[in-house]
Amino acid sequence: MKINLMHGAGGEVMGELLKILTRFEHNNAGGIGLESLDDGAVIPLNGMNIVFTTDSHVVRPIFFPGGDIGRISVCGTINDLAMMGGRPIALSCGMVIEEGFESGDLEKIVKSMDSALGECGANLVTGDTKVLEKGALDGIVINTAGIGIADRVIRDNGLRIGDRMIVSGTLGDHGMTIMAERAQLSFGDQLKSDVAPLWGLIEKAMAAGEIHAMKDPTRGGFASAINEMAKKSRVSVRISEEALPFKKSVKSAAEMLGIDPLQVANEGKVVMGVPEKDAERVLSALRSHPYGKDAALVGEVVQGSHVIMETRIGGERFIEPPVGDPVPRVC
């Protein structure tokens, strides 16, 4: 097998690559590591739950409406911690920079990273830098790793029959923004990435009620995230097409480019399953935060093994996991 871009796109094809990358015979993590394929690992230590995660970022273009590679590198790691209930404490940053990269652009990237860290109270505490010769990579690659503390650990495999499914806002914003930029489509200021650090939003939701499962719909979008949650939890999820929130500009761009907006990445959204008794309180808490003002209750968990959409015209169809993200190098 030769590795291609689809192997890194977050869809079903990526599973072939993960079978190789998780083949560590001497990995004795005992249920806290790679085998769960969660957003991070939970390490019990002296009565605390330490959440640890790492992420690399190769987005193209590196500057886009609503953000840049610096903001995405911090937000991606913070959000992976938050999806497991982890309050972000400290991040590391490794940069690989191509010879000839503009120092002014690097200053903008660092400023964006600093701003995102400030929003959630985390600190960048260590790092590493390498410079490669011209042509060895496309501008810059950033890796961030993060540590958080979770009072209550939340995983993506905890959905239960009767849970209500909530999304924290409009879907497809980031992926369609990146794709529109590459296609040189102009939507003015109506199409922007949703890239944002979500800890403050998640903290409010957790205080409002119980959350059984969470996942951020990044590569592969909502379709990938909801299918992974259902499969791991061994349940079926029914989604109302009418309830799914989209911006008009995202739907327009998706139609122009022939892309399903459910399959493209979000960088500032969360999909969560909550008990019916807590659904309205959690939804209200999300809507009270700037990053959750468009939160919506979109479905429920039932017995079965598929993700099914109830369409606007009264029919049903499967929401299939994408083979790969139609927008490569999106984060």
Distances (CA, A) of 185 to 190, 263, 304: 12, 20, 41
Do 97 and 186 share a structural domain? no
* pLDDT score, position 3: 66
CATH number at residue 143: 3.30.1330.10
In a shared domain, residues 215 and 314 = yes
- For the chain, the domain total comes to 2
Are 204 and 232 found together in one domain? yes
Same-domain pairing of 183 and 301: yes
Any domain includes 4? no
Same domain for 103 and 211:
no
Q: Per-residue pLDDT tens for 84-117?
A: 999 999 999 999 999 999 999 999 999 999 999 9
Residue 22 within any structural domain of the chain: no
The pLDDT confidence band at residue 184, using thresholds 50, 70 and 90, is confident
Both 58 and 127 in one domain: the answer is yes
Q: Tokens 């909530």: give the residue.
A: 166
How far is the C-alpha of 6 from the C-alpha of 112, rounded, in Å? Answer: 29
pLDDT at 190 over 90: no
User: Both 242 and 210 in a single domain?
Assistant: yes
Q: So what's the pLDDT on residue 17?
A: 59
Instruction: Indicate if 172 and 287 belong to the same structural domain.
Output: yes
* Residue 108 counted as domain residue: yes
* Distance from C-alpha of 94 to C-alpha of 129, rounded to nearest angstrom: 6
Instruction: Work out the mean pLDDT of the chain and round it to a whole number.
Output: 90
Q: Single out the residue in 118, 149, 180 at which a domain terminates.
A: 149
From residue 154, alpha-carbon distances to 73, 226, 260, 268 in Å are 22, 16, 29, 18
Is the confidence at residue 5, as pLDDT, over 70?
no
Same domain, residue pair 186 and 244: yes
Q: Does 26 score more than 90 pLDDT? A: no
Residue 44 lies in a domain: yes
Asked whether 190 and 249 are in contact (CB, 8 A), the reply is yes
Q: So what's the pLDDT on residue 139?
A: 95
Which residues 6+ apart lie within 8 Å of 194 measured at CB?
Answer: 66, 169, 170, 173, 174, 266, 267, 268, 269
Tell me, what DSSP letter sits at residue 163? P
Residue 55 sits in the same domain as residue 112: yes
Q: What is the pLDDT of residue 322?
A: 85
Q: Over the stretch 264-282, which tens digit does the pLDDT of each residue have? A: 999 999 999 999 999 999 9
Q: What CATH number does residue 261 fall under?
A: 3.90.650.10
CA angle 150, 222, 284 (to 5 degrees): 60
- What pLDDT is recorded for position 329? 80
Q: Specify whether 141 is located in the same domain as 177.
A: no
Range of the domain at 120: 40-149
Domain boundary pick from 106, 122, 149: 149
Among residues 94, 117, 149, which one ends one of the domains?
Answer: 149
Asked if the structure places residue 84 within a domain, the reply is yes
278 and 313 in a single domain? The answer is yes
